[in-house]
Amino acid sequence: DQQVKQNSPSLSVQEGRISILNCDYTNSMFDYFLWYKKYPAEGPTFLISISSIKDKNEDGRFTVFLNKSAKHLSLHIVPSQPGDSAVYFCAALLSLNNDMRFGAGTRLTVKP
Amino acid sequence: DAGVIQSPRHEVTEMGQEVTLRCKPISGHNSLFWYRQTMMRGLELLIYFNNNVPIDDSGMPEDRFSAKMPNASFSTLKIQPSEPRDSAVYFCASSYGTLRAVKKLFFGSGTQLSVL
């Protein structure tokens, strides 16, 4: 039962353009959402997060948007850089029982 | 800080053999998580410990899987007997406090397991 879904396994964008990665979830009890970035042969590293009481959080080139009614969140990267090429995992946290669920990941390729 | 340390980085074994994966969490962290990454299901939570005590092992796929945390600086995930469908990347992650308070994990580099 996939409670967190990333329906696009891959995304390719041109350097300087916007990258938009999408994530959907099914459990309305999730109260915190995170994005992790993973390079080959490394573990995922935390990138940015958002609480369910907010609809937007920005950190430099990275912005996460949350639409609770649609159970959807997205990560925007502007401008995209070749170093952003990695696999991005969406995660949702149910704080009450310490349960963090991950999506299958989206491989982003930023072309020079 | 060395971060979360996992060993081995790669493990190739034959079906039926016992496999033991090891993890050293970040010093001072008191929550430890084992995840498995597959192409189809992404990162699946197998089990997590808080203060060395297993809290939720509902993600452990079968009785062939077991995990221990004998002390705050070491954990093992054992598969016995191993099967080809166990082939995946296994990640260990740690945090200080519960996710409810900390809200993010620190991951190791993973163990790539191949069961032939």
pLDDT tens profile B92-114: 999 886 666 667 899 999 999 99
Chain A residues in contact with B108 by the CB 8 A cut-off are: 43
What is the tens place of the pLDDT at every residue in A35-87?
Answer: 999 999 899 999 999 999 999 999 999 999 999 999 999 999 999 999 999 99
Residue pair B84/B115 in contact (Cβ under 8 Å)? The answer is: yes
Percent of chain B clearing pLDDT 90 (strictly above): 71
Q: Residue B71: is its pLDDT beyond 90? A: yes
Q: Give the mean model confidence (pLDDT) for residues B21-50.
A: 91
User: Cβ separation of B41 and A100 shorter than 8 Å?
Assistant: no
Residue pair B100/A96 in contact (Cβ under 8 Å)? The answer is: yes
* Torsion angles phi and psi, residue A12, rounded to 5: -125, 130
Share the mean pLDDT of chain A.
94
User: Cβ separation of B107 and A105 shorter than 8 Å?
Assistant: no
* pLDDT of A100: 86
Chain B residues in contact with A96 by the CB 8 A cut-off are: 100
Structure-token match 């990941």, residue found: A105
DSSP sequence for B61-81: -STTEEEEEEETTEEEEEESS
Chain A residues in contact with B106 by the CB 8 A cut-off are: 46
What is the tens place of the pLDDT at every residue in A82-107?
Answer: 999 999 999 999 888 777 889 999 99
Nearest to B29 by CA among B71, B76, B78: B71
